[in-house]
């Protein structure tokens, strides 16, 4: 099943009420625990803890999806937080075989997946940056592979696996260590299950693998372009939709509508910057602002020129907004892009 061709943008992992109501924030978002905390519990206590977390998280996921489903089609995209099933990819994850716990997550994820499919919500997940396929040690690679298989299982229980990126679903990672190289990335990719491999995407970053560095593996894995990372890595380029490199990115998705990321440098860092002018990397560096500081994500999508830039790319790709204010930032961008005068 192919992803829809109409544009979508959305938020990542966490819902923020406009009034920051703490009760609603807690209800709408996933809860977690630590390996250390679980390790201190008896098996019975650990299962009880995970049952409570699973019930909460299944409800929170469905609440997030219901919120997205109620939005205009442009905003029907959601990244699910990786910690939805705490400790799943750890020896303590054996507790998830307990029948009551297994039933809660299988039922909850199936219902969430049905809701997402019915509303045309595009779903993604993004493991932490320690998850790399070109790991140079056996233990790190084993952990990375296990983490990717865990994400594939979550999406599989949602009915969003089997075949090439069904409904546009994806598990996104970074290229990993530049010193390790892309040959090792290909070797790691070959060790994934068919389901995990068919969901995987790889994203450019600001330090190790820029867009140009990743294009050679576009024959095996779809490329997710992060426009802010590219701006940093290229020292200021705003890549336009007609750039020939994006033809390779589009082709890497094999008929599925691509997915991309956007963010912008922090408001406090660029407090006096005209929001209707694209930030100029060279000029900001010349003013004494470091590239490291420019990498930080803003709270909101405050720069209308960047938002208009994103609007040009919505002709070919869906967009995940990686601002700290989550849904509030994506709503802000959507409101501007829905108004032709603003763009």
pLDDT digits (tens, 9 = 90+) for 105-145: 999 999 999 999 999 999 999 998 889 999 888 999 999 99
Residue 111 lies in a domain: yes
Domain limits for position 16: 7-76+85-122
Q: What is the pLDDT of residue 130?
A: 87
pLDDT digits (tens, 9 = 90+) for 262-317: 999 999 999 899 999 999 999 999 999 999 999 999 999 999 999 999 999 999 99
Q: What is the pLDDT of residue 338?
A: 86
Residue 37 lies in a domain: yes
> What is the value of pTM for the model shown?
0.95
Tell me what the pLDDT averaged over the chain comes to: 95
Residue 109 lies in a domain: yes
Residue 189 lies in a domain: no
Closest C-alpha to 262, from 238, 243, 244, 242: 238
Number of compact structural domains in the chain: 1
Q: What is the pLDDT of residue 34?
A: 95
pLDDT for residue 342 is more than 70? no
Residue 32 lies in a domain: yes
């Amino acid at each position: 099943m192919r992803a829809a061709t109409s544009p979508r943008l959305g938020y990542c992992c966490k819902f923020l009420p406009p009034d920051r109501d703490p009760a609603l924030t807690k209800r709408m978002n996933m809860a977690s625990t630590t390996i250390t905390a679980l390790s201190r519990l008896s098996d019975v206590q650990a299962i009880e803890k995970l049952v409570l977390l699973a019930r909460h998280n299944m409800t929170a996921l469905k609440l997030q999806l219901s919120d997205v489903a109620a939005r205009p089609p442009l905003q029907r995209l959601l990244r699910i937080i990786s910690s939805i099933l705490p400790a799943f990819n750890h020896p303590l994850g054996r507790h998830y075989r307990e029948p009551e716990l297994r039933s809660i997550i299988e039922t909850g994820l199936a219902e969430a997946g049905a809701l997402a499919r019915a509303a045309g919500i595009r779903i993604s997940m993004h493991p932490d940056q320690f998850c790399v396929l070109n790991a140079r040690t056996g233990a790190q690679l084993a952990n990375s592979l296990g983490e990717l298989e865990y994400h594939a299982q979550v999406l599989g229980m949602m009915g969003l696996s089997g075949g090439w990126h069904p409904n546009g679903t994806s598990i996104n990672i970074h290229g990993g260590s530049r010193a390790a190289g892309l040959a090792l990335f290909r070797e790691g990719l070959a060790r994934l299950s068919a389901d995990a491999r068919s969901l995987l995407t790889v994203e450019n970053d600001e330090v190790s693998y820029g867009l140009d560095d990743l294009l050679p593996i576009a024959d095996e894995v779809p490329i997710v372009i992060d426009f802010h990372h590219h701006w940093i890595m290229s020292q200021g380029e705003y890549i336009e939709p007609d750039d020939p490199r994006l033809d390779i990115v589009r082709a890497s998705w094999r008929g599925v509508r691509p997915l991309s990321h956007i963010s912008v440098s922090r408001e406090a860092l660029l407090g006096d910057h005209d929001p209707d002018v694209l930030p100029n990397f060279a000029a900001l560096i010349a003013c004494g602002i470091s590239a490291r500081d420019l990498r930080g994500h803003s709270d909101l999508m405050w720069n209308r020129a960047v938002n208009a830039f994103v609007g040009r790319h919505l002709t070919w790709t869906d967009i995940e907004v990686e601002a700290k204010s989550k849904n509030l930032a994506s709503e802000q961008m959507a409101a501007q892009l829905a108004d032709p005068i603003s763009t």
